[in-house]
Amino acid sequence: MTQCEMILEHLNSGGTLTVLEAIERFGCYACSQRCGELRRAGYPVKSELVELPNGKRVAQYSMEVKP
């Protein structure tokens, strides 16, 4: 299974993903690039900045929910 496939499966199941989580779960050091590939393939991947407990802000990826 490719990194894109693993990330897509995770996001499709309602999960969210930060860069650190992508490294820990999937060994993916290029999370933003993989999410960009999914977007270009037509998947509704969205990103938003979230603040961590230490005050740093990172991108968190998820799938847009269809009403």
Q: HEC profile for the chain?
A: CCHHHHHHHHHHCCCCEEHHHHHHHHCCCCHHHHHHHHHHCCCCEEEEEEECCCCCEEEEEEECCCC
Q: Which of these CATH numbers, 1.10.10, 3.90.1570, 2.60.120, 1.10.730, describes 3-63?
A: 1.10.10
> For residue 64, what pLDDT is reported?
81
Cα–Cα distance list, 58 to 3, 15, 24, 41, 66 (Å):
20, 16, 15, 24, 24
**What is the pLDDT, as a whole number, of residue 66?**
64
Residue 67 has pLDDT above 60, yes or no: no
Per-residue model confidence as pLDDT tens digits over 32-53: 999 999 999 999 999 999 998 9
Q: Is 90 exceeded by the pLDDT of residue 65? A: no
Q: What percent of the chain has pLDDT over 90?
A: 93
pTM across the whole model: 0.88
